[in-house]
Amino acid sequence: MNYPNGQRKFVPSNQQTNTINQKNFSNRGMTLEEDINETNAFYLDTNKAVIHKKPTPVQIVKVDYPKRSAAVIKEGYFKQASTTDYNGIYRGKYIDFEAKETRNKTSFPLANFHDHQIEHMKSVCQHGGICFIILRFTSMQETFFYPAVKLFPFWDSQFNGGRKSIPYQEVKAASWEVPLQYQARVDYLQVIDQLYF
């Protein structure tokens, strides 16, 4: 806590512990992307893997400069369709994955994916990369490691009269649940170790 003049208020050492615990407790409602970003930072810090969120390529068109130190982007466009959210390398293998979450309790809507993402994931699989989706059902607080190859049949069949979603039970049967942890919040590498190494 700070005083109005910006100086920090003194916190006795016995209260510092409570403040730290409250901060950790408040992070329980983090989004899937934040959880994965923290996990990837932990992997990088411990030299376990190098996996990063891919930046979305944007063409900046108009910028206002009200002050030299405060540029404001007023107009921009996506240069190209993005592929998946994350990529990197682990134990000599290329890793590529998408992170998706839904509040739906009974199924995962395929509308959460785009054609170009599916084509990209198919290409990664064809070239021997490890490609998957981390799916979170937020209402149940369940997170799953779902191999991309399990997604493709559902994606293709929707164009031939099939379902427009993957039933929850199908996701659960074809996935590995990834429980939330302290340091590696969504420790998906433990699943990769079981499946590929």
Q: 107: closest CA among 153, 152, 139?
A: 139
Helix (H, G, I), strand (E, B) or coil at 188: coil
Question: What does the DSSP 8-state code read for residue 187?
Answer: -
Report pLDDT digits (tens) over 140-173: 999 999 999 999 999 999 999 999 999 999 999 9
Give me the residue spans of the domains in the chain: 28-196
User: pTM for the whole thing?
Assistant: 0.74
Residue 20 has pLDDT above 60, yes or no: no
The token duo for 64 is 């206002």
pLDDT of residue 80: 58
CATH 3.30.565.10 fits domain 28-196: no
The token duo for 32 is 């899937």
- Residues 39-46, mean pLDDT to the nearest whole number: 96
Q: How many CB atoms lie within 10 A of CB 152?
A: 14
Question: Percentage helix, strand, coil, to 5, in the chain?
Answer: 40, 30, 30
